[in-house]
Amino acid sequence: MDFEFTEEQKKLKESFAKLCEKEIAPRAEYIDKEAVFPRESIALLGTSGFLGMGFPEEYGGNSGDPITKAMLGEELAKACAATYLSAGASAGLFAVPVWKFGTEAQKKKYLPDILAGKKIGALAITEPHAGSDVLGIKTSARRQGTAWVINGSKTFITNGPVADSYVVVAYTEKEKKRDGITLFLVDNGTKGFSRGKPLEKLGVRGSPTSELFFDDCVVPEGSVLGSVNNGFYELAQTLTHGRIGMAVYSLGIAQACLEESINYAQDRTAFGRKISYFQDIHFKIADMKMYIDVGRELIYKAAWMLSQDDPQSILFASIAKLFMSEHATKIASDAVQIFGGYGFMKGYKVERLYRDAKLGEIGEGTSEIQRAIITKLVEDQY
Ligand SMILES: Cc1cc2nc3c(=O)[nH]c(=O)nc-3n(C[C@H](O)[C@H](O)[C@H](O)COP(=O)(O)OP(=O)(O)OC[C@H]3O[C@@H](n4cnc5c(N)ncnc54)[C@H](O)[C@@H]3O)c2cc1C
| Ligand 1 neighbour 362 (Cβ under 6 A) | yes
Residue of 83, 129, 366, 368 with the most ligand 1 atoms within 8 Å of its CB, for mutation: 366
Question: What string of DSSP letters covers 284-350?
Answer: HHHHHHHHHHHHHHHHHHHHHHHHTT-TTHHHHHHHHHHHHHHHHHHHHHHHHHHHGGGGGSTT-HH
Superfamily of domain 7-120: Acyl-CoA dehydrogenase/oxidase, N-terminal domain (1.10.540.10)
Task: Report, as an integer, the average pLDDT of 228-246.
Answer: 97
360, 84 contact by CB (below 8 A): no
Q: How far apart are CA 294 and CA 298, in angstroms?
A: 6
Active-site position among 361, 364, 368, 379: 364
Q: Given pLDDT bands bounded at 50, 70 and 90, which one contains residue 350? A: very high
The pLDDT of residue 239 is above 80? yes
Give the position, in ligand 1's atom list, of the atom nearest the Cα of 154: 11
Q: How far apart are CA 262 and CA 248, in angstroms?
A: 21
What is the CATH code for 122-229? 2.40.110.10
What confidence score (pLDDT) does residue 374 get? 97
- Quickly count: other Cβ atoms within 10 Å of residue 347's Cβ: 9
Residue of 120, 359, 362 with the most ligand 1 atoms within 8 Å of its CB, for mutation: 362
What is the CATH code for 232-381? 1.20.140.10
What confidence score (pLDDT) does residue 63 get? 85
Single out the residue of 252, 329, 262 nearest to residue 13, CA to CA.
252
Q: What is the pTM of this model?
A: 0.98
Alpha carbon 291 to chain centroid, angstroms = 20
Distance of CA 131 from the midpoint of ligand 1 (Å) = 4
Number of H helices, E strands in the chain: 12, 10
Q: Give the helix ranges, DSSP H, for 89-185.
A: 95-101, 104-115
8 is catalytic: no
What confidence score (pLDDT) does residue 181 get? 98
Q: Given pLDDT bands bounded at 50, 70 and 90, which one contains residue 2? A: confident
Distance of CA 361 from the midpoint of ligand 1 (Å) = 9
| Ligand 1 neighbour 223 (Cβ under 6 A) | no
Single out the residue of 106, 110, 109, 116 nearest to residue 49, CA to CA.
116
Task: Report, as an integer, the average pLDDT of 138-166.
Answer: 98
What does the domain layout of the chain look like in residue ranges? 7-120, 122-229, 232-381
What confidence score (pLDDT) does residue 326 get? 98
